[in-house]
Amino acid sequence: MPQLQECFSSVHLWLKNIQMQNIQQQIEALIFASEVPLLITDIQECLSKRFGLFVADADVQAAVDALMHKFDTDDFAMEIKNISGGYQFFSKPLYHETVSILMKEKNVKRLTTAAMETLAIIAYKQPITKSEIEQIRGVSVDYSIQKLLEKELIIPSGRTEAIGKAMMYATSQQFMDYFGINSVGDLPKLKDVQPLEDGSAAGTPVEQLN
């Protein structure tokens, strides 16, 4: 019986190793699906949970390097960049103008109040982490952050040095284009932002930025 169990264990491990042979494709899918740059440790964690096997840093890095080399050819309109210590897909410069047309069309849609408040906090406090935004707003901002990233109005802007290395966010060039300004210095001063006539702006997150 012990020999039979050992045999089954060996077969199970063999099957896992077969699955792991496509590690490059697994990592490509992870980077493609992520809305923020993925760290090597993020990739390791996902692969470990998926296959129940430890994947060495060197193996993950080698696979990522191979992917970057693969997408560096003219056959692809996308490329993988190292941003803030993580990896993320971007369109190549040759296609930026074409993609910007689509993004501008998407951004025509009105932002929700929650997204606008979150965007205002990021604009005035950048770079800032999600937890810091939530402290100001008093509610979860996961959905708003997701939508602002999708519209490319904000971008990841490095990670904190604190434990956990939380992602920080800042406004993008798309943000400047969307609001017709040249820099965040063109934003109105907070003291010049007046409450609405019905007083509904009183006590809003924007006031807490002072």
Specify the CATH number of the domain 96-209: 1.10.10.10
Q: Give the residue, 42 or 210, on which the prediction is more confident.
A: 42
**What would the pLDDT profile of 96-134 be if each residue is shown by its tens digit?**
888 877 776 666 567 788 998 999 999 999 999 999 999
Is there a shared CATH topology between the 2-91 domain and the 96-209 domain?
yes
Residue 205: cis peptide before it, omega within 30 degrees of 0: no
Average pLDDT of the residues in 28-41 = 91
The domain limits of the chain are 2-91, 96-209
Question: For 14-35, what is the mean pLDDT?
Answer: 76
Pick the CATH number of 2-91 from 3.30.2130.10, 1.10.3720.10, 1.10.10.10, 3.30.465.10: 1.10.10.10
- 64 burial via Cβ count (<10 Å: 0-12, 13-18, 19+): buried
pLDDT tens column, 37-92: 899 999 999 988 888 878 888 889 999 999 999 999 999 999 999 987 899 999 99
Quickly count helices (H) and strands (E) in the chain. Answer: 9, 5
> How many residues does this entry show for the chain?
210
